Amino acid sequence: MLFDAVEIEHTVDAEAALEFMKEATKLASTTELEDIGARLERKCALFHDHLAEERIFSLDEAGLKKVIGTIFSLRRKAKRLLRANDFDVIRSELQFLLYGEDPVALRFDRFVGAIDGVEPAMKIALASEVLHFTHPTDNWLWTHWMWNPSAGNGALALVTQDGVDLSGATNGETYLKVGQALELVNLQGHAVGYSRSGSGALGTDVFLACVYAVFMYTVFRVKLSQEFNRILPELPELVQRVLGVHHHRHAIATGEPATT
């Protein structure tokens, strides 16, 4: 997609984006954020190892569990997902989602409609993470912490201008709109610096997870006691958790389960 400076200005709230990153860097070092970007690179390698076009037909339940183990909202739901769906159906739908000839919005809607046993938000997260982390230069991440169309909030809404429409008539259309907005955030983020904790779109993943974390801290400080605030994870850990990379350093590469 090609965009000009006017489109970026009308979509991205640059002042808010920089302010969120300023707050995030008070709570995490550059090295810590860059480490998260490197963890996302290893997550991409895991997805590619199991879901690349030439390998997906040999995907087994153990491989799928390794993939799901890196998805924040689904990592504890793998057994439920497998009980509710024939594994051959899951594998076939993953293959079509990633490599079917239909436009991505139609493939996205088909996948979400075909999978049973988990909540709609989890099916959306599965479809989005599979697309994005298997082919991060071609597809974008959409989870409900990033954009919740029912509530009209999320990290992406906090760094886009008022009036930017992120919701479509279907989940697939929403995925396209979210992707277009994320492309603009990514372009500006790498230009001015707030997306540089990882390569390409992975840096914007880190940035938006930081936005979410800073927002969460703000909400908890207002609503909860100081004593309860002490049990909240530090920003680097919270960002790792929502991005599904809260592992020991080698865990993603070896396929070990995520830590709690």
pLDDT in tens, 85-143: 999 999 999 999 999 999 999 999 999 999 999 999 999 999 999 999 999 999 999 99
Which residues, listed in sequence order, are joined to residue 12 by a DSSP beta bridge?
A: 160
Q: What is the pTM of this model?
A: 0.91
| 105 occurs within a structural domain | yes
| 4 occurs within a structural domain | no
Residue-range definition of the domain harbouring residue 37: 9-254
pLDDT in tens, 11-67: 999 999 999 999 999 999 999 999 999 999 999 999 999 999 999 999 999 999 999
Q: How far is CA 34 from the centre of its chain?
A: 17
Extract the tokens encoding 40. 């996302």
| 1 occurs within a structural domain | no
The owner of tokens 């970026």 is: 8
| 107 occurs within a structural domain | yes
**157 φ, ψ (degrees, to nearest 5):** -65, -25
Locate all alpha helices (DSSP H) within 167-234, ordered by sequence: 171-192, 201-223, 226-229
| 201 occurs within a structural domain | yes
pLDDT in tens, 130-175: 999 999 999 999 999 999 999 999 999 999 999 999 999 999 999 9
| 3 occurs within a structural domain | no
Question: Total domain count for the chain?
Answer: 1
Q: What rounded mean pLDDT belongs to the chain?
A: 91
pLDDT in tens, 201-235: 999 999 999 999 999 988 877 566 665 556 678 99
- H/E stretch holding 7 reads helix 5-11
Distance CA 165, CA 238 (A): 28
| 260 occurs within a structural domain | no
| 259 occurs within a structural domain | no
